[in-house]
Amino acid sequence: MKTLHKLAILADAAKYDASCASSGSIKRDSKKGKGIGSTSGGMGICHSYTPDGRCVSLLKILLTNFCIYDCSYCINRSSSDVQRARFSVEEIVNLTLDFYKRNYIEGLFLSSGIIQSSDYTMEQLVSVAKTLRKTHDFRGYIHLKTIPDASPELLQQAGLYADRLSINIELPSKKSLKQYAPEKDPSTIHQSMTQLKDHIDESKESRTQKKSAVTVTRRSGEKKKSLVYSPAGQSTQMIVGADESSDKKILTLSHYLYNKYSMRRVYYSAFSPIPDASAVLPIKSPPLMREHRLYQADWLLRFYGFNVNEISENNSANDGMLDLEIDPKLAWAINHREFFPVNINTATREDLLRVPGIGAIGASRIIQSRNFRRLRYQDLKKIGVSVSKVSAFIETQDHTPKQLDSQYLRQSFVKQENQQLSLFN
Amino acid sequence: MVNIQVETYKQWRTQARELLYRQIPPEDVHWQVDQQSNLLFSEDDTDFLELPIKQKTISIPKAFLELAKPVCHHRDNSRWGLLYSIAWRLVFEDKHLLNFDIDPQIAKAMSMRKSIGRDIHKMEAFVRFRKTPCASSPEKDYFIAWFEPEHYIVPLVVSFFTRRFSNMHWSILTPDRCLHWDTKQAWQTEGVTRPEGLHDELEELWKAYYKNIFNPARLKLKAMQSEMPKKYWVNLPEAPLIGELTRQSMFRTEKMMTNTSSEINNRKLKLK
Ligand code: SF4
């Protein structure tokens, strides 16, 4: 089979993975090296966008889509009649370098179906990363999807070459995992996440120690080598809409994953119809709006000081599902009108962040500008705050919200939101 | 009226400083953009440097210089005057001026900086190198890209491209200015017109990748266009695929949703 044909099959098989991020690693370049590549230390670059609006940052492919497992939600499961292919290590290495040289990509995101054994598969993945780094001095981004039951030695090696490692949690509950991915063991997944976290923490520590130990080593004359292990941390992915789990359940799990394993990101992937789908799962369009709301809620959890209960108890049915029609912050505000109006000139940063329409940047600008003079309602627009959204919830000397007690408040926002969304679809 | 012509940030800074020393207000300065307007003013053109210095020291906040630096690369010809006017106000009216995002001039400069930032970002993202045999030493690979930035940003992307593609020989050609790198040194030359016949076999692989990484069940065309506006499409090898992929996606999604799976088919077969 030609590389072109394999690429078509193995990119197609990889597209259900939501992540394509190349962010959060350390800063590198190839000026003193023999190869190519750099990372910014911050955000990665999207080199293209596909018609589904998704960023193309990495060459996201599978080593192979042959798989001995049979996870019902997966296009590569052993019982699927999809066409199979397998790349050699060398083919992936060359593709990555060739794409990188044309400035198509930031690096490689490699995962694989499981062939022969978990260890065998993991060895192949590590070997790709190792060849890129050691033989070609490649300094771009590498994300390796880790096989959870691979041996600790292999997990240890993987992090030496990868910028980021990930193990997918797959489904929001152990029960669903058992039902839809019977060969996967939730406790192994958690164990491996713990192992990754330990290595990542250790390496971070060694790097900060190295900085402070420079003078000491200089005196003692011995060279201390700091260990770089998966500098962009670990991430995971959860499939949404394949099982019955509520948003509350999903967010509770995310919260746990962020805290317990210091996940950099939890990705939500709307369960998407696949060719030759399994009969045990629903065949319907992917719940894209639900996925979108989960990302918004996830953001509120991590950066806005909300907790899971506050976010997931706002719809009238009280079933732990997010309101699909309006965003979760707005839903909370409408259900907690006693908190409003918030005074723009006196509120704390924390309280400003609770106002729908005021984000982190907006809050900072308000605080900065009001140091010098009292803000009027009109000033908000100039600062870049969307007035149509905030007007219902804030007060200034020249503005008091009129609709705050209105029973039609939610409805009026639903209309606004619909207009905005139609712009995007 | 004082006439001044500058082309770079450094030149602007030197001139602005001299103007401020002499307390020449913004409305008395004409910032020329090209040779032609020179003719209009040449008659009463006096050398302002001969005017007496009225202000011995001026202090300009560092934050302002950090704003001025990128804004100087904007294509809007009013940039020099705008920056001088802000500098003037900072020195003689209000040294906290920069904190007022709501001031029209500050807002304008900020939005110009934002637009520069976005342009740099898009250039770093959408430049596409094409491999061409090197005329002088055919054993070496040489990479050429053609790009049309919105603003005069070529000097601002030197570090990105040289840090990343340090061990390749390459040129990025643009209508304003070209940037070259030979693994050791970077240099710039005048702008050129779009070169003909750039082609790279590898684009077939890239297109195959682009086609297959797209999930037709998630079509969101407007979201894509807001990140990758049409004006960039001419230089992206993958862009011609967008129309076809979009047209097919409804059909492909429907097919996936109605397709009974092989499991069910197999079961049916067994029953027979
Ligand atoms: S192990 Fe991975 S590739 Fe294999 S069927 Fe399960 S999800 Fe798919």
Residues of chain A above pLDDT 90, percent: 65
Give yes or no: residues A148 and A270 share one domain: yes
Same domain for A193 and A320, yes or no, is: no
* Protein residue with least CA distance to atom 2, ligand 1: A113
Helix (H) or strand (E) holding B254: helix B241-258
**0.90 surpassed by complex ipTM:** no
In this complex, do B245 and A50 lie within 8 Å of one another by their Cβ atoms? yes
Q: Structurally, how many domains does chain A consist of?
A: 2
With residues binned 3-state (H G I as helix, E B as strand, rest as coil), the percentages for chain A, rounded to 5, are 45, 10, 45
Grade residue A422 by pLDDT with cuts at 50, 70 and 90: low
Rounded to two decimals, what is the model's pTM? 0.89
In a domain, residue A357? The reply is yes
For an interface test with A, the pick among B97, B121, B141, B164 (most A C-beta atoms closer than 10 Å) comes out as: B164
Flag whether pLDDT at A425 surpasses 50.
no
Q: How confident is the model at residue A378 (pLDDT cuts 50, 70, 90)?
A: confident
Ligand 1 shell residues, CB under 6 Å? A 67, 69, 71, 74, 76-77, 113-114, 181
The mean pLDDT value for A344-362 works out to 93
> Does the pLDDT value for residue B268 go beyond 50?
no
Smallest Cβ–Cβ distance between A50 and the set B100, B107, B210 belongs to B210
- Residues A52 and A117 both lie in one domain: yes
pLDDT grade for A421, boundaries at 50, 70 and 90: low
What pLDDT is attached to residue B16? 94
Q: Please give the structure tokens belonging to residue B157.
A: 């992307």
Identify the pLDDT of residue A224.
53
| Residue A424 pLDDT greater than 50, yes or no | no
Query: Mutate which of A10, A48, A268 to disrupt the B interface (most B C-beta within 10 Å)?
Result: A48
pLDDT tens digit string along B60-92?
Answer: 899 999 999 999 999 999 999 999 999 999 999
Of A234, A252, A286, the residue that ends a domain is A286
At residue A64, the pLDDT reads 97
The whole-number average pLDDT for the span A108-120 is 95
**A75 or A281, which is more confident:** A75
Query: Are A205 and A84 part of one and the same domain?
Result: yes
In a domain, A223, yes or no: yes
* Residue A292 located in a structural domain: no
Q: Is the dihedral of CA A249, A252, A258, A259 positive or negative?
A: negative
Closest CA to A353 of A284, A414, A399, A302: A302
Shortest CA distance from A16: residue in chain B: B215
Q: Among B59, B101, B104, which Cα is nearest to B85's? A: B104
Do the beta carbons of residue A103 and residue B145 sit within 8 Å? yes
Distance B163 CA to ligand 1 centre (A): 38
**Same domain for A338 and A277?**
no
Which residues, other chains included, contact A47 with Cβ-Cβ below 8 Å and sequence gap of 6+? A56, A57, A103, A104, A105, A106, B125, B126
A126, A96: one domain: yes
Give the distance (Å) from ligand 1 centre to CA of residue A149.
13
How does residue A217 score in pLDDT terms, banded at 50, 70 and 90?
Answer: very low
Range of the domain at A379: 308-424
Query: What average pLDDT score do residues B210-237 get?
Result: 88
Q: How far is the CA of B48 from the centre of ligand 1 (A)?
A: 75
Q: Is A201 in the same domain as A322?
A: no
Identify the pLDDT of residue B38.
52
Q: Measured in angstroms, how far is the CA atom of residue A267 from the centroid of ligand 1?
A: 17
Per residue in B38-56, pLDDT tens? 555 554 556 888 888 888 8
- State how far residue A283 is from chain B, nearest Cα, in angstroms: 6
Q: Indicate the range of A155-159, A330-334, B215-219 predicted with least confidence.
A: B215-219
Task: With respect to residue A302, please indicate whether it lies within any of the assigned structural domains.
Answer: no
Mean pLDDT of A261-272: 92
Whether residue A232 is contained in a domain is answered as yes
Examine the domain organization and report whether A196 and A318 are in the same domain: no
Q: Is A154 in the same domain as A261?
A: yes
Contacts of A425 in chain B (CB under 8 A): 220, 222
A197: pLDDT strictly greater than 70: yes
Residues of chain B positioned with their CB less than 8 A from the CB of A53 = 218, 220-224, 227
Both A253 and A317 in one domain: the answer is: no
Inspect the interface and report whether the beta carbons of B128 and A104 lie closer than 8 Å. Answer: yes
pLDDT at B138 over 80: no
For range A184-201, the mean pLDDT: 94
- Tell me, what's the pLDDT at B80? 96
Q: What is the mean pLDDT of chain A?
A: 89
Which of A224, A253, A286 is the last residue before a domain boundary? A286
In a domain? residue A154: yes
